[in-house]
């Protein structure tokens, strides 16, 4: 598997080479070349911001289709709790859970069940292991990747307990093997995902050697077929009671849910990638040492804000609040109230900050930085993106790295042309940002 | 080789801009390839200095000189100066006004933290004239 596998992809036919994704990428991982956006794979954290902002829907996630069901002898659907907030007028989660087998799945296992186990494990971990404070959640894979690339010093603060989806996959496979007698590899575990970062975390796992998830179907892909399968089900007498999680499990779909599951008042929850970065900066400065637990979600609103969901995150959140009302606080508990070893991340989380270095050796890097300083002075500072880089500073960095040239800046190119041909025609064309207005 | 020089003016009037210089320095150190631990230490020391400049010094200037062997930082302000440096260096001693304490600053850990996260720290201060803090961090 490619070291830098990413689930976020480009549909070249749809890409117009505009600057929308360029300007919104939190790690400046996108450039425009030959009229198309390209993703710098060593920088991309799969947060899905580009999918969200692309007006031409050219950014896509490489998710699986229901056709993959035939690749396995027995299949289990793992619905993310965010899925429950997608449907209008839904008053019973069991309708979704009963409809999933109609699409071809042999069994269903709610991720919210495993989420309650992870919440309990987190509480035990905080009580018994005296971790470095603040403990930072590792459930959002885009945040895990953000920390590796931009905040490697904070890896030691990360909660080294598997994400709910991984634990859900493990239990679901175990149950399926017990029930069918098939080999574990004959069982297909399908996560119904709200975001591309989760897909990446299955193909290129961090913290586990091999993911427990075999396939990922996006919520927006399954939404229309699932909606059809759900028709008239509320009138059916055959509706089985399949929903087995409580308030804590369902809360994981929205920002603040995981933090509230720690039952610790001294916890913080932030959502939206920019907000997450600001919080991580504060942690890095040592300003949040007095906080016990920090939950970070790259998407606004939490997982309901994922770029592969079908519904507006605020509407989904309100629906989830309604659905979880009158549910028990939690329905799933760890046996013997102890921390099982299998819940812990097995492989260490490695920093990935080399991508930020300007050169392999410091001398070269410092020379490049000096050159960057000079370039930044002569670039116009408009951050227009016309050069294909997200800002003048990013272009300066690309130039010293050898990925771009100074005259990729249209304003610099214009100056060069003026030096060659000082014709009146060229001199009279002054770009609008530099044109003086009459009031001046 | 010539050291890499960075200069920042810190505004004394806008509290919300405090932290920008240390953020830029942090980014530069990372790009040069210093370790994450060293980068964090320098960023914290400069951040504390920057906050002090805004709270007490009425703004100031930060000059950084970087070589692979040494990072030296000069934090200079033209503020009221520190009458008793030894007292100011004590953990918990603070003269910060109530309005910044409400924001969580002014715990009296600024100067002690700068000392903690750097290898060399020299404070020069004259009452009525200003304060200059010279810091050195050695990567090895």
CATH topology of domain A8-60: Alpha-Beta Plaits (3.30.70)
Q: Which residue has the higher pLDDT, A233 or B73?
A: B73
Please give the pLDDT value at position A404: 94
Contact list, A284 vs chain B (CB under 8 Å)? 40, 43-44
Q: How far is CA B133 from CA B67, B72, B73, B81, B108, in A?
A: 19, 11, 8, 11, 17
Per-residue DSSP letters for A92-135?
Answer: -HHHHHHHGGGGT-SEE--HHHHHHHHHHHHHHHHHHS-PPSSE
* Token reading at A287: 């300003």
Length of chain A: 440
pLDDT, residue A424, reads 65
CA–CA gap between residue B64 and residue B110 (Å, rounded): 19
Q: Please tell me the distance from the alpha carbon of residue A273 to that of residue A278, in angstroms, as a whole number.
A: 9
Integer CA distances (angstroms), A425 to A411, A422, A429, A430, B88, in order: 16, 8, 7, 10, 65
Q: ipTM of this complex > 0.85?
A: no
Give me chain A's average pLDDT, please: 92
Residue A382 reports pLDDT greater than 50: yes
**Cα separation, A307 vs A8, whole angstroms:** 11
- Other Cβ atoms closer than 10 A to A104: 14
A156, A285, A361, A364: best to mutate for the B interface, most B CBs within 10 A: A285
Q: Tokens 């970070």 label which residue? A: A296
Chain A interface, mutation test: which of B25, B36, B51, B104, most A Cβ atoms within 10 Å? B36
CB contact at 8 A, A66 and A103: yes
Mean pLDDT of chain B, nearest integer? 90
Residue range B4-137 forms a domain whose CATH class is: alpha beta
Q: Given a cut of 80, is residue A372 above it in pLDDT?
A: yes
Judged against a pLDDT cut of 80, whether residue A426 lies above it is answered with no
The distance of A14 to chain B (nearest Cα, Å) reads: 34
Q: What is the pLDDT of residues A205-224, one digit of tens each?
A: 888 888 999 999 999 999 99
Instruction: Please tell me if residue A355 touches chain B, with a CB cutoff of 8 Å.
Output: no
3-class DSSP assignment, residue A45: coil
pLDDT digits (tens, 9 = 90+) for A36-46: 999 998 889 98
pLDDT per residue as tens digits for the range A287-308: 899 999 999 999 999 999 999 9
* Pair A75, A44: CB distance under 8 Å: no
Does the active-site annotation cover B101? yes
B-chain residue closest to A147, CA distance: B36
Residue boundaries of the structural domains of chain B: 4-137
Cβ contact A362–B23 (<8 Å): no
> Chain B residues with CB-CB distance to A under 8 A?
1-2, 4, 19, 22-23, 27-28, 30-34, 36-37, 39-40, 43-44, 47, 66-68, 104, 113
Mean pLDDT of A309-330: 93
- A366 and B113 within 8 Å at the Cβ level: the answer is no
Question: What does the pLDDT look like over A253-281, one tens digit per residue?
Answer: 999 999 999 999 999 999 999 999 999 99
Hey, what's the torsion of the CAs at A313, A308, A278, A271, to 10 degrees? 30
- pLDDT of residue A440 exceeding 70, the answer is no
> Which pLDDT value is given to residue A2?
59
Respond yes or no: is residue B48 known to be catalytic. Answer: yes
Query: How far away is chain A from the Cα of B126, in angstroms, using its nearest Cα?
Result: 29
Classify domain A66-343 at the CATH topology level: Rossmann fold (3.40.50)
The one catalytic residue among B2, B31, B41, B48: B48
Does A290 lie at the interface with B, CB-CB under 8 angstroms? no
What is the β-pairing status of strands B120-126 and B130-137?
A: antiparallel
Query: Chain B within 8 Å of A428 (Cβ-Cβ)?
Result: no
Q: Which of A13-22, A228-237, A272-281 has the lowest mean pLDDT?
A: A228-237
Residue A234 has what pLDDT? 75
CATH class in words for A359-434: mainly alpha
CA distances, B114 to each of A73, A156, B41, B118, B134 (Å): 62, 22, 9, 6, 10
Interchain pair B36, A153: CB under 8 A: yes
pTM score, two decimals?
0.86
How close is the nearest chain A Cα to the Cα of B107, in Å? 11
Taking only the tens place, the pLDDT of each residue in A398-424 is 999 999 999 999 989 888 888 787 666
Domain ranges of chain A: 8-60, 66-343, 359-434
What is the Cα–Cα distance from A192 to A52, expressed in whole angstroms? 18
Whether the pLDDT of residue B51 is over 80: the answer is yes
- Å from A258 to nearest chain B CA? 26
Q: Which one, of A186, A197, A253, lies nearest residue A63 by Cα?
A: A197
- pLDDT for res A94: 95
Check CB contact under 8 Å for B33 and A281.
no
Tell me the per-residue pLDDT of A93-116, one tens digit each, with 9 for 90 and over.
Answer: 999 999 999 999 999 999 999 999
- Residue A284: closest C-alpha in chain B: B40
- Tens digits of residue pLDDT in A321-331: 999 988 889 99
Specify whether B98 is catalytic.
no
From the number of C-beta atoms within 10 Å of its C-beta (0-12, 13-18, 19+), residue B34 rates as buried
Residue of B1, B4, B43 lying closest to A284 (CB–CB): B43
What confidence score (pLDDT) does residue A6 get?
A: 84
Lowest mean pLDDT among A307-311, A348-352, A434-438, B36-40: A434-438
Where do we find the tokens 């300003």? A287
Arithmetic mean of pLDDT, A365-375? 94
Out of A3-17, A141-155, A283-297, A379-393, which region has the weakest mean confidence (pLDDT)?
A3-17
Rounded average pLDDT over A189-202: 94
Beta strands in A275-360 (DSSP E): 293-297
Min distance B37 CA to chain A CA atoms (Å)? 6
Q: Which of B101, B113, B120, B134 is catalytic?
A: B101
User: Is A281 at the interface with chain B, CB within 8 A?
Assistant: yes
- What pLDDT sits at residue A1? 46
**What string of DSSP letters covers A377-437?**
HHS------TTSSSSHHHHHHHHHHTSS-GGGSHHHHHHHHHHH---HHHHH---GGGPPP
Contacts (Cβ under 8 Å, ≥6 apart) of B86: none
Report the run of H or E that residue A269 belongs to, with start and end: strand A267-271
**Is pLDDT above 90 for B101?**
no
Q: How far apart are CA A141 and CA A131, in angstroms?
A: 21
Q: What are phi and psi of A199, to 5 degrees?
A: -60, -45
Mean pLDDT of A49-60: 91
């Amino acid at each position: 598997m490619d070291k830098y596998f990413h689930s976020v992809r480009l549909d070249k036919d749809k890409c117009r080479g505009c600057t929308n994704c360029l300007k919104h990428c939190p790690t400046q991982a996108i450039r425009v070349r030959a009229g198309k956006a390209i993703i710098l794979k060593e920088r991309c954290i799969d947060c899905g911001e580009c999918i969200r902002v692309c007006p031409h829907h050219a950014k896509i996630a490489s998710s699986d289709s229901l056709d993959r069901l035939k690749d396995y002898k027995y299949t289990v659907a793992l619905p993310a709790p965010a899925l429950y907030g997608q449907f209008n007028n839904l008053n019973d989660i069991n309708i979704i859970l009963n409809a999933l087998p109609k699409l071809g799945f042999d069994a269903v296992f709610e991720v919210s069940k495993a989420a309650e186990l992870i919440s309990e494990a987190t509480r035990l971990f905080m009580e018994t292991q005296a971790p470095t404070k603040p403990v930072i959640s590792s459930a959002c894979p885009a945040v895990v990747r953000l920390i590796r690339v931009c905040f490697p010093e904070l890896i030691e603060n990360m909660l080294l307990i598997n994400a709910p989806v991984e634990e859900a996959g493990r239990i679901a496979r175990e149950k399926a093997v017990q029930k069918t007698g098939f080999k574990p590899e004959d069982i297909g575990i399908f996560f119904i995902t709200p975001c591309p970062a989760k897909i990446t975390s299955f193909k290129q796992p961090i913290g586990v050697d091999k993911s427990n998830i075999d396939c990922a179907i996006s919520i927006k892909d399954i939404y229309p077929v699932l909606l059809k399968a759900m028709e008239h089900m509320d009138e059916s007498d055959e509706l089985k009671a399949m929903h087995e999680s409580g308030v804590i499990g369902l809360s994981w779909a929205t920002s603040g849910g995981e933090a509230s599951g720690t039952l610790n008042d001294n916890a913080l929850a932030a959502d939206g990638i920019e907000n997450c970065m600001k919080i991580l900066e504060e942690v890095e400065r040592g300003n949040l040492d007095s906080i016990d637990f920090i939950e970070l979600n790259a998407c606004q609103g939490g997982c309901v804000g994922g770029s592969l969901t079908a519904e507006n995150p605020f509407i989904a959140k309100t629906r989830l609040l309604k659905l979880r009302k009158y549910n028990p606080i939690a329905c799933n508990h760890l046996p013997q109230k102890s921390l099982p070893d299998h819940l812990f991340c097995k492989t260490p989380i490695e920093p990935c900050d080399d991508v930020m270095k300007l050169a392999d050796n410091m001398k070269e890097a410092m020379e490049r930085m000096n050159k960057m300083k000079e370039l930044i002075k002569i670039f116009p500072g408009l951050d227009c993106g016309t050069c294909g880089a997200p800002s003048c500073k990013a272009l300066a960095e690309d130039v010293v790295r050898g990925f771009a040239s100074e005259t990729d800046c249209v304003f610099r190119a214009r100056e060069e042309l003026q030096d060659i041909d000082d014709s009146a025609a060229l001199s009279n064309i002054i770009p609008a940002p530099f044109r003086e207005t009459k009031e001046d | 080789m010539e050291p890499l020089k960075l200069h920042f003016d810190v505004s004394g009037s806008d509290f919300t801009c405090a932290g920008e210089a240390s953020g830029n320095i942090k980014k530069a150190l990372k790009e040069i390839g210093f370790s994450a631990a060293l980068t964090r230490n320098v960023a914290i020391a400069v951040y504390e200095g920057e906050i002090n400049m805004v709270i007490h010094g009425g703004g100031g200037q930060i000059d950084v000189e970087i070589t692979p062997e040494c990072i030296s930082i000069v934090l200079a302000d033209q503020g009221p100066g520190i009458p008793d440096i030894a007292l100011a260096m004590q953990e918990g001693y603070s003269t910060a006004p109530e309005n910044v304490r409400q924001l969580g600053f002014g715990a009296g850990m600024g100067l002690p933290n700068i000392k903690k996260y750097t290898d060399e720290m020299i404070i020069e201060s004259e009452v009525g004239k200003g304060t200059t803090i010279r810091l050195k961090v050695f990567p090895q």
